Amino acid sequence: GFNCGIVGLPNVGKSTLFNALTKAGIGAENFPFCTIEPNAGVVPMPDPRLNKLAEIVKPERVIPTSMEFVDIAGLVAGASKGEGLGNQFLGNIRQTDAIAHVVRCFDDSNVIHVANQVDPAADIEVINTELALADLDTVEKAIKRVQRVAKSGDKTAKAQQEIFEKLLPVLNEGKPVRSMDLSDDERATIRELCLLTVKPTMYIANVNEDGFENNPYLDKVKAIAAEENAVVVPICNKMEAEIAELEDDEKAIFLEEMGMEEPGLDRVIRAGYGLLDLQTYFTAGVKEVRAWTVRVGATAPQAAGVIHTDFERGFIRAEVVGYDDYIACNGEAGAKDAGKWRLEGKDYIVKDGDVIHFRFNV
């Protein structure tokens, strides 16, 4: 699966968000094959298509796809120098696929701010500086390493050195590498460094109930995000925590009263999905209708591998019906009659919403 690390200064609302996300989460019993860390929560991906499929197939169970969120508390100024539990936190961030950076965009005299004033730009800078410094260290070490090889006339090492050196001025300024305009080749070359500041990032602007509009703090976060290829999700974490406590029917009433179509958490989860270029395909059997996550561009065998590695290795073919066709034809049999049921081979590129039945050898 894919995961997203929640970072941010102390007292900005990270735990509140994390608790809301995990309350909305699905029980670990649905994930017998993954070990979930105590500070991690598996959150279902809201997808109305799943219910539509279930109405047709009437399976024993319906399982959404999900994303794991990891609470990485305690990132403070000085972390990159190993202060506090700095290295451990940076190491935790390194293991995540994407970063959700919570920024305080609300005034509340009852909630102490670590720097004594609410200033999203300054807060973002503290965190981004630590991440950039950690990357700077990584890049400087990598340059030393490839330099030695480059000296002996190795062209690849020379090219690597040049690309790594391009990162230095940006990181020295405390800017993230993801803000750079890099070619695909350059990106591929720096991938091995596992840098923190290349990770796709969303800023979670934590606002008060009435802070979604005319909020200068929020505007500031949007301006910063625009400069560095990041997305912004405005959300009121406190309200989300309250929504997460409600029963389903109460939830619907509350959302309607607030003029909301869905909990803000759903936007966070979707943003994480979008950040990582992920899409969903479905399997639809009488035992189980289930959504699965794959990268955009994944082939049929790669998609099969998400279910089980044996499925990828032994892949023979995929029987595919597009989601719209599946619904319009009222299921697989109808889709077959209408000529909408396709046999696809190992080069097939899976599309969002495909309903797939894999055939494989074991």
Binding residues for ligand GDP, rule: CB under 6 A, are: 8, 10-16, 73, 106, 108, 111, 206, 208, 236-238
Least distance (Å) from ligand GDP to the CB of residue 257? 18
144 is in an annotated binding site: no
Q: Which is nearer to ligand GDP, 111 or 253 (CB)?
A: 111
Least distance (Å) from ligand GDP to the CB of residue 263? 14
Query: From CA 244, how far away is CA 270, in angstroms rounded?
Result: 17
Are 23 and 244 in contact, with CB atoms under 8 Å apart? yes
Q: Which is nearer to ligand GDP, 197 or 206 (CB)?
A: 206
**Pairing assessment for the beta strands 40-44 and 66-71 based on DSSP bridges:** antiparallel
Q: Residue 176 half-sphere exposure, CB side, CA atoms within 13 Å?
A: 23
Least distance (Å) from ligand GDP to the CB of residue 71? 8
12 is in an annotated binding site: yes
Q: Which two tokens stand for residue 295?
A: 């990268």
Q: Which is nearer to ligand GDP, 238 or 267 (CB)?
A: 238
340 is in an annotated binding site: no
Roughly how many angstroms between the first and final C-alpha of the chain, as a whole number? 23
15 is in an annotated binding site: yes
11 is in an annotated binding site: yes
Q: Which is nearer to ligand GDP, 220 or 238 (CB)?
A: 238
Q: Which is nearer to ligand GDP, 16 or 201 (CB)?
A: 16
Supply the Cα-derived Rg of the chain in whole angstroms. 23
Least distance (Å) from ligand GDP to the CB of residue 211? 8
Q: How far is CA 141 from CA 82, 145, 148, 195, 207, in A?
A: 17, 6, 11, 12, 40
Least distance (Å) from ligand GDP to the CB of residue 108? 4
Strands (E), the chain: 3-7, 40-44, 61-63, 66-71, 98-104, 201-206, 231-235, 278-284, 288-295, 315-321, 342-344, 355-360
346 is in an annotated binding site: no
Are 279 and 293 in contact, with CB atoms under 8 Å apart? yes
Least distance (Å) from ligand GDP to the CB of residue 106? 4
Q: φ, ψ for residue 301 (rounded to 5)? A: -60, -35
Element (H, E) at 50: helix 48-57
Element (H, E) at 86: helix 86-94
Q: Which is nearer to ligand GDP, 142 or 235 (CB)?
A: 235
User: Residues forming the annotated binding site for ATP?
Assistant: 11-16
User: Residues forming the annotated binding site?
Assistant: 11-16
